Structure 1
């Protein structure tokens, strides 16, 4: 189901003849529209059924809707049954209704923002020609909402969301300070009436700007002074004519450029902010960082610590700029070396993980990454979690800029819609008949079953044998809920080696979802999956040395118990993931990962051995795994590697472990060094709740807590309470006796010392000393 790639692209609602709607196909193949309909704001009936219609790849389709659309305001909706695939509405404050001779069109086919244009482009690339606005007037419009001021009229025809602050000189060597703006759109923009402000937030101090900025071009704004911006830290704020803030760039003392430097984006309009000695007013930014960082606070990378509140826009970032300066940048043959991971498909609202961990600059520089997700949002960093709100095909771009000047960009398509999610898929093998069973060519088949509660789109998924032969599922291959599809050999052309083979189910971006071992004599079993987000990967996992692909949630990190391994929880139980080199990607408890390696076993716990970090893919984050709760007597070796939860009494504490008894039996709770358990926080008789990984020790089963937080003291046993009460009483009696004796000793000592003070002669003094000593001994015995 690739209908989400079809977008409403152009609308004519004010016509002397029939109204029409133009659609555009973003996908790389033809899409059948037979089940779709176009609706307006009326719910009585559709404007037009698209039965029998199709739309070629990257092409347009004109649909006549008679005179159904309202001139003042209306809505155009593309629907499949009750699912809205795309919609747009006009006649409000965000998008005015067009007038005679005008149409509504996207600024970029299929993805851009909606604008009024005087140039209809039926079945060809949209070209935006903004209406001419007469002085002291507003565009002709029959909309019930009209701008109240000249500033609002200007804001209406200028797409301010596409304008970016691009370069700043706050401490010029000569002349005035200036700010360069960049136009992300593919049309010229009139900036008259806009404002540039600093951090004083006073409109009286803002600088009014004027001029036209060319499509994908630059405009230098002279601030007419060399003292407007603070050299040690300030803000540069872009506002549209009605003072609505478009973008704010904040730089501090540690990230302020000095004379001979500017603050510039690593990539025009989208990149991270960097201090450069190559000032490029009115041209493409070319970053040359200072040889000795100045005012960087010892960071070493030359990057300014700059925060920018980017405006969310609906237009993809323009990457290629047809100018001489950009061509000069492209001459650099050294490019970023990419390693990128991204989801192929997601459900609306599902969090996907995007990673460029492992990408690098061949020149050795520090690389900044900027992501543009095609839905108007951007982000920075190596690992990003992102969810798309609505269905569609999104082109996700990541731009890289290094402190050495090396640049690069990478793009990937993400399919978002019901049935596109790979992480949530629950497609399993059903009955498999192959040439290994001598069933005859016509009967050889592979059955797939959907055990999820939603349909699953298999377009682009693959079946693959051990020899590398593969069958790619065709567009619109959809398995309904609790249904199955059967694929015969006449279609797949897959055959299998009689000495043994494997059958793999792969996602379109080659993630292995299921591996099934095929042998001539093996009894075929239907595979099942859990209802959780962990997809079960089936293999002869008990066979040491067998290749396996497993999905599970990280339950213990490298370093909790040992630096060469961590634990995951799969639907088949806990697994230890081991690597001798200790080279793992950044992991967090709750990460859903796919691990590819060979099976082995350590002290009864199933282990997956890998050779490098590339055998681990992080599929999503923040997954929840509930521990297995059980009485101790019911725990067995089948649960080794699982995260378990027990409750009981601490019966004995040793140097690096303690015993806990729940009334059925007792178990050893072992304190691994990496868990950093402080046993002084516990006493024998404490009632505790303990979470940890079940492991096999020398004397039986053990529980390994991962940190101090895994052991919670919930109370005290009756024996401990009585012991504490007796101890408290004994301490009270002892304290009373000591206070009485101390007072008595003090009184006697005072009498003796008084006697000594009156006495004369050495004999009397000596006798007095002995008396005092005797009195103190007597008191001590008491």
Structure 2
């Protein structure tokens, strides 16, 4: 070798060694799919020898493995590339180094370049998925975007968009320029003004992405509300100016545009009112209650978003569906099955609220509401009617009160002194009283079953066959339950029920004190004319209950039980299907027969045993059929079995309120 050549070789070797110590070599490109290649870049202006350097790979769950250890012949020229290929055909570019150990897994590896003493010169990727590149049939390379940036940062890499050497990459050449993602564009279409309580539509107009990426649209309405989508609605509850922002994102870049909208307070009409409501229907409350609205103007009103409610803290507020229209002078009924609003039978408040929860109409009622009677708006107040008309014009019909007293069917003579004032008085047994014609002056005897004050001041009852005694002045002598008395008066009737009318307190004479009379044990289906005025005991299940009224049936027929307010009885909490035992007087009104309990213990939940049927004084004489007697006997047997705890040995006697 000539001296000049030696000198030249010595110069190159010295320069390469000197430059190598500066460690300015980076991993510049990786083809990790298909046939692999790795490209190194010398970033200096001097050649660098890689003698003793190593290139390694490491999977996240594996040990570091050597791809190649370079020998002294491997030198990277100044500012040039070193192409390492697994096979010669890895690209159409001639490889500087070929090694069959160059295998990179598609799931990702950390690639490390070390110098001859093991110092890390550069690294590419991390222990995980590849930062860039694509796994396709031919593969797409992962290229360094900035040689001066960290190779373990995803931001330093991009997927190649170049094609060199018949590969989707740039082996042995300058890396391709990374594609720059362009942000999406679009604008807001929306009104500049609106009102509270009204849904406002916001639309994203002409939304597009220059790169063809999919775009998501998100909204912020300035009042804490948000939504996503290209067309959304929002309702403001307060009156002020809001800045609405729309954000468009393609996953890389985001564009935000703004829109200002001024909201003013919405005003609502005052000519929608509650027209009728039913709180205590005949039958099921849950199925038959309703609240009815009326439009008192000639103009159609949109009541969507308006609310129906009872008093605060009661049922949940019902919001009327959007776009609900109430025509001029129109009526619209809302059943409880839809609103779920349960109005109390004993008093409540029914309210109509606008969409901002301001009260537009309110009415409070108190006291027990009679069954089947609705409240009807009439001249700015409400009147009870026995004819509910949901969805129709109100029809006011006066309810016949259970406690009312009508004119007597047969006028009685005007007394001069006592009940009959000189008229001929017929002495009859209590069993024969009802056989007497109206207006007949009679004297009879019986045992007090309902003393003065129980059903009010004017009426008492005597037992046996039983009859009502009526004294308009209500100034009876002192009488107690069980007293035997003689009554002198005139036969009359009220609401279809026979009674003896007296004219003075002296027409009632107390003969003796005694024990309280026992009730007749009868079936519910027996109660009628034959038992009118009698003290009876019935036992059966509740079929309906509402307010002071409920119905009982033992399988022979349904009978009404009514608790008069004068008794002071606190009606026990009951529901359909409950077994009850009732003692009371049989009374008649224009609507039929009923049983009137006298005292709190006359109304009991459960089966009650131990009662003895009162002697059938006169009842048999009034035509008691064998069938009726049999029914009464059967009822007594049922009570006996219940009292003995029949039914799997469990006692049925209960005392509940």
- Give TM-score, length-normalised by structure 2: 0.26
Q: Quick one: higher RCO (CA 8 Å, sep 6+), 1 or 2?
A: 2
- Give TM-score, length-normalised by structure 1: 0.22
Q: Which of 1 and 2 has greater Rg?
A: 2
